[in-house]
């Protein structure tokens, strides 16, 4: 009986930045942190890290606080964004804890000052951590209101010279219509930055798409909730939508 050959995983990228939306961390709940989902994400991040890939993460806070909804109900935008930044810090610390339980060296860097819990974001220090094979979690957005975590992920990806930006969501990629409400929606395997902006596809903040376009940073939108997808994307499999 022939032995089944073990597939050797070979990463397509040396350094990546992953944007993880806060909503994913809630799992099947509508709010808060779902421990099983955190563990699943941490295990996949470790697999990628063990392949020799330098990994940085920007984390959202939508599972704790939805700033857009709060503004619609009358909250001041600046206050709303500040609360959202704090929510990303909570998520970052939770993910750090689970990763450390998996024996991954990881540092949380915050754009807002919370020195007892996280290091301040310093460009050269973040590069040094990556060179020492430490995983990074960027929290606090850009530290400024009116900027989404999508924008901060594009900014941080360019600052650390990432090969690709991976936007991990709960949908399969970019569609011409919202797949939740329209089952006839069509998924794009590839799409240009300009087409996303022209068609006003709500897959990523417009400022983030423009930043990626201006600096020729490719990004991939894929479903992180499907187990194994992160490793497949990093190893070059055609998962999700490739934006270039």
By percentage, how much of the chain surpasses pLDDT 70? 97
Which pairs count as long-range contacts for 190-194, CB under 8 Å and 24+ apart, including other chains?
Answer: 190/241, 190/242, 190/243, 190/244, 191/241, 191/242, 191/243, 192/243, 192/244, 193/243, 193/244
**In a 3-state reduction of DSSP, which class is residue 181?**
coil
Q: Which CATH number fits domain 15-243: 3.20.20.70, 3.30.70.2520, 3.40.50.300, 3.40.1160.10?
A: 3.40.1160.10
Place of tokens 């499999």: 237
Work out the pLDDT band at 6, boundaries 50, 70, 90: low
Please tell me the predicted confidence (pLDDT) of residue 3: 59
Q: Which of 67, 112, 78 is nearest to 92 (CA)?
A: 112
Nearest-angstrom CA–CA distance, 149 and 140: 8
Please tell me the predicted confidence (pLDDT) of residue 66: 84
**In a 3-state reduction of DSSP, which class is residue 220?**
strand
Please tell me the predicted confidence (pLDDT) of residue 96: 97
Please tell me the predicted confidence (pLDDT) of residue 1: 54
Nearest-angstrom CA–CA distance, 99 and 139: 16
* H or E element at residue 128: helix 123-131
Domain boundaries, the chain: 15-243
Please tell me the predicted confidence (pLDDT) of residue 167: 96
- Distance of alpha carbon 21 from the chain centroid: 6
Mean pLDDT score, 202-223 = 94
For 12-46, the pLDDT digits (tens) are 999 999 999 998 999 888 889 999 999 999 999 99
pTM of the shown model: 0.93
Phi and psi angles of residue 132, each rounded to the nearest 5 degrees, phi first:
-90, 10
b (16+ CB within 10 A) / e for 86-124: bbbbbbbbbbbebbeeeebebbbbbbbebeeebeebeee
For 41-94, the pLDDT digits (tens) are 999 999 999 999 999 999 999 999 988 788 888 999 999 999 999 999 999 999
Tell me what the pLDDT averaged over the chain comes to: 93
Q: What does each C-alpha distance from 222 to 15, 18, 22, 129, 237 come to in angstroms?
A: 18, 11, 15, 27, 11
- Structure tokens, 211: 């930043």
């Amino acid at each position: 009986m022939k032995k089944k050959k073990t597939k050797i995983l070979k990463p397509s990228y040396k350094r990546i930045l992953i944007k993880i939306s806060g909503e994913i961390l809630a799992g099947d709940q509508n709010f808060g942190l779902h421990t099983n989902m955190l563990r699943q994400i941490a295990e996949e991040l470790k697999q990628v890290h063990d392949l020799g890939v330098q990994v940085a993460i920007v984390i959202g806070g939508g599972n704790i606080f939805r700033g857009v909804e709060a503004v619609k109900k009358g909250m001041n935008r600046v206050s709303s964004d500040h609360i959202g930044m704090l929510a990303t810090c909570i998520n970052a610390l939770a993910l750090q804890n689970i990763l450390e339980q998996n024996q991954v060296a990881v540092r949380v860097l915050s754009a807002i000052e919370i020195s007892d819990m996280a290091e301040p974001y310093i460009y050269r220090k973040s590069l040094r951590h990556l060179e020492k094979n430490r995983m990074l979690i960027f929290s606090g957005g850009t530290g400024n209101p009116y900027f989404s975590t999508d924008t901060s992920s594009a900014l941080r990806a360019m600052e650390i010279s990432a090969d690709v930006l991976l936007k991990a969501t709960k949908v399969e990629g970019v569609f011409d219509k919202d797949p939740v409400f329209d089952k006839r929606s069509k998924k794009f395997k590839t799409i240009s930055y300009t087409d996303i902006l022209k068609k006003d596809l709500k897959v990523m903040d417009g400022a983030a798409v423009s930043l990626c376009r201006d600096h020729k940073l490719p990004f991939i939108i894929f479903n992180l909730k499907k187990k194994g997808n992160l490793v497949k994307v990093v190893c070059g499999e055609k998962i999700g939508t490739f934006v270039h």
